[in-house]
Chain A
Amino acid sequence: MSREGVNIHEYQGKALFREEGVAVQEGVHCTTVDQALEAYDSLGSKVVAVKSQIHAGGRGKGSLYCPDTGDLQMEGGVKIALSRDEVETYSKNILGNILVTKQSGPEGKMVNNLYIEAGCEIAHEYYLALLVDREEDAILVMASTEGGVDIEEVAETTPQAIHKAWTDSSGKLSAGADSAMADSLGLTGVSKDSFKKMLGSLVSMFVSRDCSMIEINPLVKAGDGAMIALDSKISFDDNASYRHPWRADMRDMSEEEEVEIRANKSGLSYVKLDGNIGCLVNGAGLAMASMDVIKLYGGEPANFLDIGGGANKESITTAFGIILEDPNVEGILVNIFGGIIRCDMVARSIIDASREVGLSVPLVVRFSGTNHEEGRHVLEESSLEVTTVGTLADGAKAIVAATVGVDA
């Protein structure tokens, strides 16, 4: 079962950084404007950063909108406040509003959390990230002197500005790799020592906490030469969640799609898309291929849905219910390649599910593999209005034709 990684907020990431000995500025997590003002008073720093907390990058360049009127509230989800009044203004403009960034999707995300962080004198901004390199079977460390900007753009335009090092299979950098990376970033003296210490802590944290990514953009050299993580973007490998019970407390349900969590609980893997043709498929690859073929024949898939290898009547009923919750759905394509799953079982489940959820849109079913003939027979003998087909292409053509009919 896979959710889309396990992401946490910046303020949570920085709390972990503190525990692991990665240098960060003092900061306070707030959920109200009053708390933000208290935080400003307690930090004793004249300049503070007021930072929206959502699980999407590009916050600084995002825009905040009022959820009721849709009016633009403020440009920029991360603001530098030079006074108590500015903290109040910015906090009011952020909390309870919708932040739209390059990564949040056009619908944006409601901001319920704020981080007030002490200001920092910045001599230079760098980029530092650790991630799993699937080609090298290792953890990859990437660093660049071009911090604070879109790193994907740097990778595209000046790949030589990105320095890389890999761990061994036990998650250790080779001796001297940290020094070499500091040198390639042009760091000397205090900054070099500070960078090496930070990198060591990050690599050991990546392993001990089963991370899938740690990104710090920007990593800054402060006025006194110390290296400080001014941002934190961390995601964890969900497959390892069983050995990290502390993660449960960091989960922000408002950041997750409720329907995707519900699907997951029934052993389904569901992702909502924008089209009008619902799909119900066994296997992730075949589910993606079914979406692709719908598109190829002129339709638009409404979802990705893999019912998994352990599907039964209950989970198939749940799957139909979830597909039909989407008001855009005007037809459903079922594509099952029976292996361990038997097509006749799926056929009976479809009949029961359609009664239970009151199926009212066209249904096209393609069965192949184990007991496909029986499955088809069960459907054809039933009172259910269903078109059965032999191939995926025929299924896609039939459901596209049927939904065009709905539109007309």
Chain B
Amino acid sequence: MSIWINESSKVLVQGITGGQGTFHATRMTEYGTDVVGGVTPGKGGQVVDLPGRSVPVYDTMGQAVSETDADVSVIYVPARFAAAAIVEAADAFNETKGEGLIVCITEGIPTLDMIRCVGHISEMPGIRLIGPNCPGIITPGENGGCKVGIMPGYIHAKGRIGIISKSGTLTYEAVAQTMSVGEGQTTCIGIGGDPISGTGFIDCLAAFEEDPETEAVVMIGEIGGTAEEDAAAWAADNFSKPIVGFVAGATAPPGKRMGHAGAIISGGKGTADEKFSAFEKAGIHIARDPSKIGEVLVSVLIEAGLREP
């Protein structure tokens, strides 16, 4: 089992004829993802050659979803067109199937565009958005798996740990940490570090709670906002599995933005210390050094009786 995507998920690529789109569609296919087509306005009718298959390009998401019966769309279009691409995907999935997963990799989307987008999707209970400005989502399989995004697939392996993270390469670090102690992953989700985004920590935790294969979760936050504190409070009451947590940005000075648009301590709020304390208060096992996530995870799994000492 896994959450939201698995080896039978059919995936569309919005922006498939662009440099990034073609590159990542190729990598995703190599990993085992069932890429069934793509969308680029004005290039409908063309085909794109991917490893072992050629897939059709459509002008619109409406056509693409009807023709391919896809479950998932991943967006690699430039920032100024990305919000419209999300809305188009949401409408197409909603009208055709009543459900669908949209993963937006693009970074640099204007905040007010995202407010409109997230508002639009909130009216559609079957539609889920992950991102923007994120590495995507991956469910490693027995042979390959389903990778929807830009993460290096080969660092993952099928297993029992769920991973949720606001940042890209730090997610890979968390994956490598689980691997260093012989643990694989059910599903790993990069939710992105923008101020306004789709799926948050709580949505992911709720799904991992329901997934019988996920035995524990690694949760990676960063400074800014209160999403980590809210998730910790929610988890204390609603999440029964062990969580290992890390928050990046303990050394970041207030008022300075650390790369991600959301990673800024403003008005003294959103510090790493506050988030670590919220984690501890909620019974989340913290690793102050991300190189120790693996160690902490093992001890937590043993403590929970899930592994032999």
Contacts and interface: CB of A to CB of B under 8 A. Distances in A.
B110 A239 contact: yes
Given A135-B226, A291-B252, A391-B291, A168 B169 contact: no
Interface stretch (B7-15, B66-74, B147-155): B147-155
B102 to A, nearest CB: 16
B256 A288 contact: no
B173 A210 contact: no
B123 to A, nearest CB: 9
A236 to B, nearest CB: 10
Contacts of B98: none
B196 A134 contact: yes
Contact of A137 (B119, B249, B267, B272): B119
A210 to B, nearest CB: 6
Interface in B232-285: 246, 248-253, 255-264, 267-268, 272
Interface in A311-343: 337-340
B124 interface: no
Interface stretch (B46-54, B217-225, B300-308): B217-225
A2 B261 contact: yes
Contacts of A139: 115
Contacts of A284: 167-168, 193, 222, 258-260, 263
Interface stretch (A35-43, A60-68, A292-300): A292-300
Interface string A221-238: 000000000000000010
A288 B252 contact: yes
Contacts of A132: 111, 115, 195-196
Contacts of A391: 291
B165 interface: yes
Q: How large is the interface on A (under 10, 10 to 19, 20 to 34, 35 or more residues)?
A: 35 or more
Interface size class of B (residues with CB under 8 A): 35 or more
B256 A271 contact: yes
Given A284-B259, A293-B291, 12 more contacts: A2-B257, A135-B230, A137-B114, A152-B268, A171-B115, A243-B110, A286-B173, A287-B259, A289-B248, A292-B249, A304-B252, A368-B173
Interface of B: 79-80, 108-116, 118-120, 122, 135, 150-152, 155, 165-173, 176, 193, 195-196, 220, 222-223, 225-227, 230, 246, 248-253, 255-264, 267-268, 272, 288-292
14 contacts: A2-B259, A103-B255, A134-B196, A135-B227, A171-B112, A171-B115, A240-B113, A283-B169, A285-B166, A286-B168, A286-B173, A289-B173, A306-B259, A369-B176
Interface of A: 1-5, 103, 132, 134-135, 137-139, 152, 155, 168-171, 207, 210, 212, 237, 239-240, 242-243, 269, 271, 273, 281-289, 291-296, 301, 304, 306, 309, 337-340, 368-370, 391-394
